[in-house]
Amino acid sequence: MGIPNETDVLIVGSGPAGALLGCLLARRGIDVLVVEKQPDFERDFRGESLAAPSVIALRRLGFGPALERHGYLESSGVTMWLEGRRIFHVDYNRFSVGTLPIEFPQPPLIRAFHEGAAGLPNHTFAAGTRFTGLLEKDGAVRGAVLKQGDGTAVEVAARLVVGADGRFSKVRKAAGLDPEIAQAERDLLSFRLPRPDGWALESELVVDHDRHLAVLPTYPDALRVSHNLPKKGLGALRKAGFDSFRERVAAIDPRLAPLLEGHLRSWDDTSFLEVFNAQVDQWARDGLVLVGDASHTCTPTLGQGVNLAFQDVVGLTPLIAAALARGERDGVVRAGVFAAFLAERRKHKDFVTGFQRRQESSLAMSTPWQTALRRARMRTLNALPVKYRVFDRLLNLPHGIDPADER
Ligand SMILES: Cc1cc2nc3c(=O)[nH]c(=O)nc-3n(C[C@H](O)[C@H](O)[C@H](O)COP(=O)(O)OP(=O)(O)OC[C@H]3O[C@@H](n4cnc5c(N)ncnc54)[C@H](O)[C@@H]3O)c2cc1C
């Protein structure tokens, strides 16, 4: 389908946030154009952890059959190992939410969102199409300039442009909404290994002084492993050689040693992630709103990226629909309609990033007294019921967003 010259809502980026928003708005009869610079949905080493409220929301929104058809892994809890001892555990079965988090790859998820809008004449998806600039008039955003796969530029007028283009958002930059970047203390290098039979289906954090591995069971039969490295430390790590990297991983978690030999063969099997938080003071302007990683890039701690994106989308959908229904056909959606909602979102995002910062500082501890103190603290926390309250708030956010009316 060709790119229209005008639309109600132009969504830049077809990650989990943009694809879901496009589907939900189109189902409400709103004209939507979703553009994605990649030619397909393929992507690896992204957030695959869907928290229980996200799973519940997706089922209420009608994506349950797509989840079942594809298949997923249910995660039963989170365990933390410190210097070889299992010190901390949270059992997800104890939460009153009544649904377990799942591990579900991004490509089929994004595909399910597009299939959810398939056949709707008001939903257009343009793959291989890149956002290059905003169209602005009288201080409001009125549309965007796009570059198609064959190099031709096209201008699209829109009543609302949504920046769903991820952690290095070009829409955010073009709108002058500069983020404050808070670098984490370390970056991550990730890889996959086959999952041995009988491996517990829970997230594990395996820590040895200031080195750690996050080991996540991954659909269908893998482990996704992330290892921390110092900022700008990739060069030194590579210089030390691949064997040395494998030895380093095996020293942290000896259970992985027999898997590394045949299955982690070269640096090509690894994926680097620069870890940072991006804090943007303003998430909306007249005619423009940011969602997902574009508005609040988080670190991968506790896998909250996709969940925060869904919460944004489910909450913004009725606000966008109401604003479009109220306004003149050529009028822009004003930033004010999002103000109260975005203020609430910011509070939750600050809570999540605050937790992530504390967790990352704790993981960076290296001296004997620091690590002994960390062990004592985690052991104490493990014995206290308050751990369930903290994790419940983090993972099972009672955000008051009810997707029931989106079907
Ligand atoms: C390499 C990487 C590894 C990650 N690992 C983890 C992890 O281990 N755990 C975790 O919880 N989270 C992880 N995340 C974060 C998680 O994937 C995101 O939080 C989640 O995908 C957010 O969804 P989103 O739709 O907001 O953005 P994204 O999923 O980033 O989607 C943005 C989309 O916009 C497209 N785009 C970008 N620029 C343009 C443009 N100019 N024009 C058109 N399209 C454009 C991109 O191609 C992309 O498809 C990772 C992210 C990355 C990038």
CB 45 within 8 A of CB 52: no
DSSP states of 256-271: GHHHHHHH--SGGG-E
Which residue owns the Cα nearest ligand 1 atom 52? 46
Nearest atom of ligand 1 to the alpha carbon of 43: 49
Smallest Cα–Cα separation from 164: which of 117, 205, 110, 218? 110
Asked if the model's pLDDT at residue 407 lies above 60, the reply is: no
Ligand 1 geometric centre to CA of 232 (Å): 21
Ligand 1 centre to CA of 16 (Å) is 8
Question: Quick one: 74 exposed, middle or buried, by C-beta within 10 A (0-12, 13-18, 19+)?
Answer: middle
Going by alpha carbons, the residue nearest to atom 19 of ligand 1 is 305
Question: Which among 106, 24, 61, 40 is positioned nearest to 306, based on CA atoms?
Answer: 106
* Per-residue model confidence (pLDDT) at position 279: 85
Rg of the chain over CA atoms, in angstroms? 22
Q: Are 49 and 216 in contact (CB under 8 A)?
A: yes
Q: How far is CA 302 from CA 108, 147, 205, in A?
A: 22, 36, 10
Tokens at residue 202, please?
Answer: 């829970």
Q: How far is the CA of 167 from the centre of ligand 1 (A)?
A: 6
Within 8 A by CB and 6+ apart from 197, the residues are none
d(CA 289, CA 278): 16
The response to whether residue 165 sits with its C-beta less than 6 Å from ligand 1 reads yes
Distance (Å) from CA 14 to ligand 1 centroid: 9
Residue 406: the pLDDT is: 53
Q: Verify whether ligand 1 is closer than 6 Å to residue 131 (CB atom).
A: yes
Query: Is residue 394 over pLDDT 90?
Result: no
| Strand blocks (E) in 248-371 | 271-273, 276-279, 284-285, 288-290
pLDDT at 397 exceeding the cut of 90: no
- Residue 403 pLDDT exceeds 80: no
pLDDT for position 301: 85
How far lies 20's CA from each of 60, 115, 297, 303, 407, in Å? 13, 10, 18, 18, 13
pLDDT digits (tens, 9 = 90+) for 196-211: 999 999 999 999 999 9
Amino acid residing at 219: Y
Specify the pairing of strand 271-273 against strand 186-194: antiparallel
Number of Cβ within 10 Å of residue 6's Cβ equals 16
Ligand 1 center to residue 221 CA distance, Å?
Answer: 23
Q: Is the CATH code 3.40.50.150 the one for domain 1-44+105-183+277-362? A: no
Judged against a pLDDT cut of 70, whether residue 399 lies above it is answered with: no
Ligand 1: which residue has its CA nearest to atom 37? 165
CB of 45 shorter than 6 A to ligand 1: yes
For the stretch 100-130, pLDDT in tens is 999 999 999 999 999 999 999 999 999 999 9
CA 258 to the chain's CA centroid: 31
Confidence of residue 154 (pLDDT cuts 50, 70, 90): very high
pLDDT tens by residue, 290-307: 999 999 999 888 888 999
Q: For residues 333 and 326, what is the distance between their CA atoms, to the nearest angstrom?
A: 9
Query: pLDDT tens-digit profile of 221-247?
Result: 999 999 999 998 999 999 999 999 999
Q: Which one of 109, 110, 165 would you pick to mutate in the ligand 1 pocket, going by the greatest count of ligand atoms within 8 A of its CB?
A: 165
Residue 169 has pLDDT above 60, yes or no: yes
- CA dist 286 and 141 (Å) reads 6
Q: Which atom of ligand 1 is nearest to the CA of 35?
A: 43
Domain 185-273 falls under CATH 3.30.9: yes
* Cα of 293 from ligand 1 centre, angstroms: 7
Helices (H), 89-178: 106-117, 170-174
Q: Is the pLDDT assigned to residue 398 strictly greater than 80?
A: no
What is the full DSSP assignment across 321-356? HHHHHHS-TTPPPPGGGGHHHHHHHHHHHHHHHHHH
Percent of the chain clearing pLDDT 90 (strictly above)? 83
- Is the CB of residue 315 below 6 angstroms from any atom belonging to ligand 1? no
Expressed in angstroms and rounded, the spacing between residue 376 Cα and the centre of ligand 1 is 37
Give the integer Cα–Cα distance in Å for 207 and 83: 6
Annotated domain spans of the chain: 1-44+105-183+277-362, 185-273
Q: How far is CA 12 from the centre of its chain?
A: 16
Provide the pLDDT for residue 327: 80
